[in-house]
Amino acid sequence: MRTAISILFLALLAGSVLAEPRQVSEYEWRGVERIVAIGDIHGDYDQYMATLEAAELVDGKGRWAAGATHFVQLGDIPDRGPDTLRIIEHIDKLARQAERKGGRVHGLIGNHEVMNVTGDLRYVSSGEYEAFVTRRSQDLQDRHYQAYLAKLEQADPEAFMKLPDDFRDQFNARYPLGWVEHQQAWNPAWNAEAEYAEWALERKVAVQVNDTIFLHGGLSGFYCRNSLESLTDKARAQLRAYDPAKPGILDDPFGPFWFRGLAGGEPQAPLETVEAILAQHDAKHIVVGHTPTMGVIWPRYDGRVIQADVGLSGYYGGHVGYLEITPEGLFGGYAWGKLRLPESDDEAVAYLEEVITHDPSNPYLKKRLQALTQPPGAAAAEADGDDDEEPSEPADEEQRVPPICGISP
C-alpha cells in the first residue's frame, strides 16, 4: 500500500512539474495559466494603473498581485501624455516583483519608442519635457540656442541676418526647457549612452506565450516567415545605427511597428497571410496594439487576430480594457467586468451589443455596431481611431504589394 501511495504521489508531483510554465526560448513561453495584455499607454499613468487594477495585476499600492500571470504590454508607452518616465519606472519595478512571484512582464517596443529613439518628436507632450527639467535646464537651453545660432550663421549668413526680433521666443517654444535633456536621455545621436534608448533596446518586437503571438502593429506578408528573434534583431540593429536615409524595419509601413492590415487598415492582410503566420509559429492567435478601437477588445479573422489597444490614454478617451487568456478561453476585460470574446465573426454583433450596454455613451462603439449591421456595400466604416501618420515612403512605395507570405529582405 505504501509503495502504491508513493508511486501515486510521484506521478502527481511529476504532473505538477510538467504543468509549470516553461521558457522554450528567449521569445517563447509555454504552459502559462493566465495571460493579460494591454495596449498603448501613451503617457497616462492614472489610466494605466486603473487598467492594471481592473485586471487584478496589482494591489491597492500598485504592487504585483497576480502570482504566476504573464503580463504583456504591447508598446507605445511614450508620447501624447506627460507620464512616460513614471510609467517606465513602475513597469520595470513591476517586472522585478512579478518574477519573484513566478510571473513575468513582457514589455514590447512600439513605434513611439522607435520615434523617440530616432529623434521624431512630433507627438511628445509638453509634460514629457517638463519631467526632465532641473536647475541646469536654463543653462542647457541657452547653450543649445547659442550653438543653433552659430551653426545657422555659418551655414546661411543671409538667413541669420534676417532672424526676427522674437526668434528667441520662437526657439524656446520649439525647444522648451527639458528638451535637451529629453534628447540626451532618448536619442543616441545626442548621447551614446542614452538611458531610455538602452531601455528600448532591451524590449522585444514580439513574443509568444502559449499559442498566442504578441506585437505592437502587425505583420504583413513581407514578414510572414520571419522568426520572432529575427524581427527583434533587425530592429535593434537599425536602432543602434539609425540612418533616415536607409529605411528598414523601423520605418517600413508593412513592418511590425506600423502595419495596420491585421486591424482593418488598408491594405488588409488576407486570411491566407494570417494563417501562414500562425502556422509558422504553431500559434492560434495574434494580439496587436497600435490601432485604437476606442473602447473594446476586438477580435478579427474569426478570433485569429485580437486588437488590444482600446484607447487607454485620456488622449483617446481614457478607456479601460485588457485581454485575458486562461484555459477557459479569451476574454475582453473592462472596468465593469469580463466578457468572453466571440470565436467567430458571426458572433461579433452580439458581443459588441453587450459591451455597449455597459458603455452606452461611447459614440465610437455605436459607429462600429452600425458598420457591422449595415447592408453589404454601404459606405460607413468601422470606428477604429487613427493613431499616427504613416512613416514617409519613397514615391514608388504605392506599387509595393505584400505577398501572401514571404520573408523580409
Cα separation, 362 vs 356, whole angstroms:
8
308 and 234 belong to one structural domain = yes
Q: Report how many domains make up the chain.
A: 2
The amino acid present at 3, given as its one-letter code, is T
252 and 315 belong to one structural domain = yes
Q: What is the pLDDT of residue 9?
A: 47
For 10, the grid coordinates are 510521484
Is residue 357, in this structure, part of any structural domain at all? Answer: yes
Q: What is the pLDDT of residue 374?
A: 86
33 and 115 belong to one structural domain = yes
pLDDT over 90 percentage in the chain: 87
Region 55-81: mean pLDDT is: 98
359 and 342 belong to one structural domain = yes
- The DSSP symbol for 366 reads H
The 10s digit of each residue's pLDDT in 223-259 is 999 999 999 999 999 999 999 999 999 999 999 999 9
Looking at 159, 190, 221, the residue that finishes a domain is 190
Q: How confident is the model at residue 113 (pLDDT cuts 50, 70, 90)?
A: very high
181 and 223 belong to one structural domain = no
Q: Cβ–Cβ contacts within 10 Å for residue 171, how many? A: 16
Number of H helices, E strands in the chain: 14, 13
Looking at 163, 190, 217, the residue that finishes a domain is 190
304 and 245 belong to one structural domain = yes
pLDDT over 70 percentage in the chain: 90
229 and 321 belong to one structural domain = yes
Q: What is the pLDDT of residue 392?
A: 55
346 and 234 belong to one structural domain = yes
Cα separation, 139 vs 387, whole angstroms:
35
Q: What is the pLDDT of residue 384?
A: 73
pLDDT at 31 over 80: yes
Is residue 350, in this structure, part of any structural domain at all? Answer: yes
Q: Which is more confidently placed, 7 or 63?
A: 63
Side-chain-side CA neighbours of 31 within 13 Å: the count stands at: 11
* Chain-centroid distance, C-alpha 174: 27
181 and 277 belong to one structural domain = no
Highest mean pLDDT pick, 6-20, 138-152, 388-402 = 138-152
pLDDT at 355 over 50: yes
Side-chain-side CA neighbours of 235 within 13 Å: the count stands at: 32
pLDDT at 354 over 80: yes
Q: Is 191 helix (H, G, I), strand (E, B) or coil?
A: coil
Cα separation, 2 vs 269, whole angstroms:
60
The amino acid present at 193, given as its one-letter code, is E
Q: Which residues fall within 8 angstroms of residue 137, CB to CB, at 6 or more apart?
A: 177, 178, 180, 181
Q: Cβ–Cβ contacts within 10 Å for residue 374, how many? A: 11
Q: Quote the domain boundaries for residue 259.
A: 23-119+196-373
Q: What is the pLDDT of residue 20?
A: 81
Q: What is the pLDDT of residue 399?
A: 66
Name which of 226, 264, 231 is nearest 382 in CA terms. Answer: 264
Cα separation, 307 vs 134, whole angstroms:
39
Q: What is the pLDDT of residue 375?
A: 77
Q: Which residue has the cell 518574477?
A: 99
179 and 203 belong to one structural domain = no
Pairing of strands 285-288, 305-307: parallel
Is residue 275, in this structure, part of any structural domain at all? Answer: yes
Cα separation, 348 vs 339, whole angstroms:
12
For 375, the grid coordinates are 447592408
103 and 222 belong to one structural domain = yes
27 and 75 belong to one structural domain = yes
Is residue 396, in this structure, part of any structural domain at all? Answer: no
Name which of 344, 342, 59 is nearest 353 in CA terms. Answer: 342
pLDDT at 57 over 50: yes
CA-to-CA separations, 200 to 92, 109, 329, in angstroms, rounded? 12, 7, 32
Q: Which is more confidently placed, 397 or 353?
A: 353
Lowest mean pLDDT among 47-61, 130-144, 286-300, 370-384: 370-384
Is residue 320, in this structure, part of any structural domain at all? Answer: yes
The 10s digit of each residue's pLDDT in 209-222 is 999 999 999 999 99
CATH number of the domain where residue 365 is located: 3.60.21.10
The amino acid present at 67, given as its one-letter code, is G
